[in-house]
Structure 1
Amino acid sequence: MISRNKAKWTLLALPLLAGSISSAMADSLAGPSGELIVTGVYQPEACYVSLTNNGTIDYGRMHASTFSATDYTLLPVKTLANAITLNCPATTSVAITTQDNRAATVAYGPEYNPLPITTRSMYAPTLGLGVDSAANKIGSYIGQLQNLKADGIDGYFTDMAGAPFKTVDSRVLQPTLFMGASFTSGFVFNLYDNSGHVLSAKLYTMDYSVSPEIVSTSSLNLSRDVVLDGSITVSFYYL
């Protein structure tokens, strides 16, 4: 499930210092002095985020007999089309970060990545699927944003986090972004056009794909339903 968490970049007005008394008048008018400060915050009108199917990819009910009792079971890739829609009242530049809310529950299995990748981005962070009723780890999954559109035109992600809204060399662009990718504090994944310029648009849309793998059923408590519980927070930053 993708949950919403919007944030804003703001512009701060610089303090304005009142002029001091001129030296020509200093002798006759000397006395207490002070400064006047003007400050404020400009906030752009908020963009609105909507999630298709509440941002949930549902694998439905699956019988335990369809899973391996001795090995990991790889579930098919599922994609939620137009999973995220970001509507802005005016043309706006957007950056993004993602965070795995179930990172402590990752059950590392065989290395795999059936999702589309690029030559510059072979590493896919492994995300947690929660635990069963006996606190056993259920498995892991890979999540990916793709098919980014900005006002209907193809957009691109950068292959690594960087300073917000910074123009980059077009060679580092890619059509996908793995969820849960680590980044330095204060850095974000910017969105670009095919020339490496920061995107500016009113309407952004993107798909969301996942590929889970489940631990052996012998490692799970099957006396109760085992519920896949992946959860990612997606944060948008915008000007």
Structure 2
Amino acid sequence: MNTLTQRLAVLLLLTTTPAVFAAAFVDLTVTGRLTPDACHVTLSDQGTIDHGKIPSHTLNAKEFTVLPSQLLQLNVQCSRPMLFALVGLDNRAESSLAPGFFYGLGRNIHVPAERLGSVALSYRNPIGDAQSMQVLASSDNGETWSPEPNAYPKSYVGFAPPGDRQPDFIGQLSAQLRIDTSINFSQYLTLNQEVPLDGSIVLDLRYL
């Protein structure tokens, strides 16, 4: 092989070798997201209680007027059995007549100093993972528990089989949420115009 031929052979090798290597591998990308186990809470009727129009002459002047109790269906669906509690947070706490026990019903929009009344929450007939449950409550952020169906503001509410004194791990929970609404003494309210009731409560699910 003469010198010119040798040089062409070397140039050919240098120009073709990278193309051979480029075709010999391909990138692989692996994606995804690691997400924490979680529970999803729902209420029937989109969590709305509507008492309709209440004529002012039907209200008691010197005692609370207790409106008919209402029930909403509460469901908690978890990705696996979880240890959790529900906490009621009052968006109208400044209007509550007894903040440790009742949720506020808002203020008279025409006379803001007037508080309209109270809302009480309680849990009834809880079923967890196809077995009957009892309702437990804690006033110290889950340190101690005792049987208590009422869901007081900021109180932790958990669920456990009858006889247990600590909330249990639950994958699926269903319960009735009872709402009891009371209107303040009418002698303390200015009712010469239509006044909307304005209770607003958040049920916050917290993992224990």
TM-score by length of 1: 0.61
CA contact (8 A) 1:52 1:80 kept: no
CA contact (8 A) 2:123 2:135 kept: no
Q: 1:73 to 1:163 in 2, by over 3 A?
A: closer
Match of 1:74 in 2: 65
Structure 2 residue 30 is matched with structure 1 residue 61: no
Q: 1:210 to 1:66 in 2, by over 3 A?
A: same
The Cα of 1:192 is off from its aligned counterpart by: 1.6
The Cα of 1:203 is off from its aligned counterpart by: 1.2
Hey, which bits of structure 1, 4+ residues long, moved more than 6 A? Answer: none
Structure 2 residue 121 is matched with structure 1 residue 131: no
Q: 1:152 to 1:59 in 2, by over 3 A?
A: farther
Match of 1:185 in 2: none
Match of 2:147 in 1: 173
User: Which one has the largest radius of gyration?
Assistant: 2
Task: Give 3-state SS (helix, strand or coil) of 1:132's partner.
Answer: coil
Q: How many pairs are equivalent? A: 171
Q: 1:153 aligns with which of 124, 127, 131?
A: 131
Q: Which amino acid aligns with 1:156?
A: Q
The Cα of 1:215 is off from its aligned counterpart by: 2.3
Structure 2 residue 118 is matched with structure 1 residue 144: no
| Structure 1 unaligned residues grouped into runs of 5+ | 1-41, 109-123, 183-187
**Quick one: higher RCO (CA 8 Å, sep 6+), 1 or 2?**
1
CA RMSD of aligned residues (A): 2.7
* Identity in percent: 22
CA contact (8 A) 1:125 1:181 kept: no
Task: Measure, in 2, the Cα distance between the counterparts of 1:195 and 1:216.
Answer: 41
The Cα of 1:162 is off from its aligned counterpart by: 4.8
Task: Give 3-state SS (helix, strand or coil) of 2:138's partner.
Answer: coil
Task: Measure, in 2, the Cα distance between the counterparts of 1:218 and 1:163.
Answer: 38
CA contact (8 A) 1:148 1:205 kept: yes
Q: Which amino acid aligns with 1:106?
A: S
CA contact (8 A) 2:65 2:184 kept: no
